[in-house]
Amino acid sequence: MSSSPTSAGARDMAVSIQPLDVADIPACARLSAAAFATDPHTIVKQLGRQSYDMFAIARSGLEENLKRQNFVCVKAVDDQGIIVGHASWVFSGGGQKRASSRDTGDGESAPTPADKATEPDSRPQAHGDDAEEEGDPIERLHALEEADTQYWLQNLVPVDTPCMFVVGLAVLPSHEGRGIGRALLRHGNAIADERRLSIWVHSSHQAYVAYSKAGFETRRELNINLDDYAPRPPRDGEATMAVAGQDNDDGRWGQYIIRYMERKPGGN
């Protein structure tokens, strides 16, 4: 598969969208960990008794995703060869397979007969344990999110209709606001539009605006009072929704909204 350079806008930096390979996994996992280091939702989850290491989560996820033929994993590379962002999508249902070259079906790297459509149990899942650990409020949070994710998948996403899911998207914090996320989203949107597929995403609070600008519309929300689950108040220097400009600065973690969003083919 060949790279797909983007065109830079007035404030956007030029990046090349390229296939992500195994050698890129450590750098991309570090990037993901850095991107979520100031996310209050992630910080609260890291206060639980069970480990919630974003580097390990991202690394293991990419390792598994790259083995499967129904995933598209790409990186955004600057003119110095530095990875400044990455994203992954999965095809669900209808025999959809990994896209070729620019991921718009140009035939340079056609799928092989070994490629298979994703099964229902390979759809994106919320992180969490099967059984709630007694006395750990973070496990209650995991259970809440897992149940809501399953409701989304079982009741809002058409089971028998082929579609795509955004599995993950992250931008190097020092490069945020420079069009890298937009470039990655355009790449995935082009794949979906070529195949006339909807794209679904389980969006973080902060990513909502970017997804909205890329044509995604909210289908369901999960409003979480982080203070109901955090085992302690935030400490000096820890990011809260107030620090993120999303809530009042009153010593609380604040309200966090997870949004389940859909982009129809041709949207924006």
Q: Is residue 75 part of a domain?
A: yes
Would you say 218 and 259 are in contact if contact means Cβ atoms under 8 Å apart? yes
Q: Is residue 23 part of a domain?
A: yes
Q: Is residue 6 part of a domain?
A: no
Tell me the CATH number at 258.
3.40.630.30
Beta pairing, strands 198-203 & 163-171? parallel
If you average pLDDT over every residue of the chain, what do you get?
83
End-to-end CA distance of the chain: 26
Q: Is residue 147 part of a domain?
A: yes
Q: Is residue 146 part of a domain?
A: yes
Tokens of 118: 């994703």
C-alpha–C-alpha distance, residues 119 and 123, integer Å: 7
Per-residue model confidence as pLDDT tens digits over 45-79: 999 999 999 999 999 999 999 999 999 999 999 99
Q: Is residue 254 part of a domain?
A: yes
Strands, sheet with 198-203, edge to edge from the N-terminal-most edge strand? 4-5, 16-19, 71-77, 83-92, 163-171, 198-203, 255-263, 217-225
Would you say 118 and 90 are in contact if contact means Cβ atoms under 8 Å apart? yes
Beta bridge partners of 4: 17
pLDDT recorded at residue 10: 44
Q: Is residue 65 part of a domain?
A: yes
How many structural domains is the chain composed of? 1
Q: Is residue 105 part of a domain?
A: no
CA distances from 62 to 144, 209, 260 (A): 25, 25, 22
C-alpha–C-alpha distance, residues 265 and 247, integer Å: 34
Boundaries of domain holding 181: 16-95+126-263
Report pTM. Answer: 0.81
List of residues 6+ apart from 156 with CB closer than 8 A: 219, 220, 260
Per-residue model confidence as pLDDT tens digits over 23-48: 999 999 999 999 999 999 999 999 99
